[in-house]
Amino acid sequence: MKKKSIMIQGTGSSVGKSLLCTALCRIFTQDGYRVNPFKSQNMSNNSYITAEGHEMGRAQVMQAEAAGKAPRAVMNPILLKPTSDHRSQVVIRGKVFDTKDAIEYYEFKPRLKSMVQEIYDDLANESDIVVIEGAGSPAEINLKQDDIVNMGMAKMAQAPVLLAGDIDRGGVFASLAGTLLLLDEDEKKLVKGVIINKFRGSLDILQPGLEMLEDIIHLPVLGVVPYFHLNLEDEDSVTDWDKFRSNQQGEIDIAVIKLPHISNFTDFNVLKLHEDVHLRFVGLEDDLGRPDVIMLPGTKSTVADMEMLWKSGMAKKIQDSHEKGSFIFGICGGYQILGREILDPDHVESSLDGIKGLDLLDIVTSFRGEKTTVLSEGEDQIFHAHVKGYEIHMGETVLLEGTSPLIQVTSPSERSLQSYDGAVSGDQTVFGTYFHGVFDSSAFTREFLNRVRNARNLAPLPNKVQDYWQYKDEQYDKLADVVRESLDMDQIYRIVEAGLDG
């Protein structure tokens, strides 16, 4: 039986490949097909843990959810997690393999091709349609050799390619035509059409340009997708941070510290659904102001970011803000930063033996070689709400005498025989947890926000927000509606059916 697939590549990073793939996953699923997403190689510190304890990129998690499938690491078999400008942790089949610099990985990459082919074939055998996402641009002419994520992947999968360009950043006609110009002849034959993404304005004015573009590239424009605002998770490290600001000026000012190696910043997406929240991201050199809540997010390099917090003066600003009444909440690496010390005797993360933390929680974290990757759930010990999330961290955190845990863990039972997670200060103004996704529980989040409101002499608000898990499902339907209306889906189905013979 012929394996059917479609691949979205882009003229560059952040042109909308992930969301277009998510939309196609949902559309094909709505139309009755068995769909799986695939991206052979992803680079992101914003990762997720599967039910099997495997690590993968969040874009393929989003796409799997849109297809009604449980996320699996085979959907993203290679994940690169930058630890510096030149080195990345290499995760293969969901497990940490090694840490390599760019040259080491470039020399190692050809050995991965057969693995990618095998994993893809297995996934295709259980699918009616595989939706494949490329990475960056296929026109990076210095990286074409041994490519396994753009045209190299399209050849392995025998997948027709749709090329997407972002009109909002300008120069979309040149970027589409220029990308095709830099492709080899056999690569050009893989491209069956182009998509204009993030359009604002009049289609009547744009239409003559579309016709001229088709004459130049000899390919159809399969649709123009409008610029839209949906609360879906963007994993890109070059994300426009302003998109994460609340539109409304909520009564509770929440400042998320933009750590140099920030990861899993999508933990805070759900906060935008609460009408009394004003969410903002603050760089280390920025004015912190007087926030009601300071959030410390996850980080790929806790020790290095702690060092930068001290050097920049932001650590002192956070301490002073807490003294003046700000609540503090840390997740994963942010939780570790809140403690007395972060110890790294084996130099797992850095060349330092350790570093002083913010000393806002009586905890000490020690880094060891083993990485914790697990889905967890339980009940928080302050508001007694059900919470669930995923843990992905190096290091073990010990609560010192008199410190109370935040969450009683009920699942999984094999979680290092520990039945508790996180910590909370005695006055319940500083909270920390390893649970990514803790705010997805609307009951917990509303109770926490009401605790902040009470401290500000504001009346509590009822919980009007559904849990984020159900909310996201509605967002996938809305995304599918927008993209289905914008694209020539009949032509896309013909492309899928014909494959490379079309």
Q: Which residues are catalytic?
A: 332, 436
311 vs 419: CA distance, rounded Å: 36
- The string of DSSP codes covering 150-171 is SHHHHHHHT--EEEEEESTTS-
Task: Check residue 400 and report its DSSP letter.
Answer: P
What dihedral angle (degrees, nearest 10) is formed by the CA atoms of 35, 41, 47, 48?
A: 40
Q: Is 237 helix (H, G, I), strand (E, B) or coil?
A: coil
407 vs 146: CA distance, rounded Å: 47
The count of C-alpha atoms lying within 13 angstroms of the C-alpha of 428, restricted to the half-sphere facing its C-beta, is 13
**How far is CA 403 from each of CA 285, 319, 334, 397, 452, rounded to the nearest angstrom?**
32, 19, 17, 12, 21
Alpha-carbon torsion (374, 376, 382, 385), positive or negative:
positive
Q: What angle do CA 349, 435, 310 make, to 5 degrees?
A: 45
Ramachandran bin of 16, using left for φ above 0, alpha for ψ from -120 to 50, beta for the remaining angles: left
Query: Maximum distance among all alpha carbons in the chain?
Result: 73
Bridge pairing between strands 5-10 and 129-133: parallel
